[in-house]
Amino acid sequence: MKIAIGSDHAGYDLKEVIKNYLIEKGYEVVDTGTNSRESVDYPIFGENVAETVAKGEADRGIVICGTGIGISISANKVKGIRAALCTNEYMARMARKHNDANVLALGARVLGVDLALSIVETFLNTEFEGGRHERRVHLIHNIEQLKL
């Protein structure tokens, strides 16, 4: 499985930990930046990861900022992306099982490293249930098609 990962400056250290963890576990990782703790704008990196996943250049994505809120909003603006901000393993499991989330958002300032890695592991190892949830994911897709 290929994973795109990106963060702003607040998420940089956690991104590096998660990236190394994924590589050790045998995942192929596409790091879309940022590459330092120097202040940057999170929407750029949320979009970078989301575009990589939407284009099929990665199977799933992980985005990280201070709270995970801003970068998840940014990622969700990309057509075809269902980014879920998760603060525990249950949320990560349900994001995959019921929502077929394809991008995980994390808040580096609200999660410890061990919990963040456990959330990542849960997210990557949970399959979409389909069934009644398929209809709901399709309804989400239909919302993307609306023109304002």
Q: List b or e across 11-47, with b for residues whose CB sees 16 or more CB atoms inside 10 angstroms.
A: bbebbebbbebbeeeebebbbbbbeeeeebebbebbb
CB 3 within 8 A of CB 28: yes
Residue 25: partners with Cβ closer than 8 Å, 6 or more residues away: none
User: For this structure, is 65 an active site residue?
Assistant: yes
Query: Of 98, 133, 138, 141, which one is the catalytic site residue?
Result: 98
Query: Of 65, 86, 133, 138, which one is the catalytic site residue?
Result: 65
Phi/psi at 118 (nearest 5 deg)?
Answer: -65, -40
The structure tokens listed for 4 are: 């795109």
For the annotated catalytic residues, the residue numbers are 65, 98
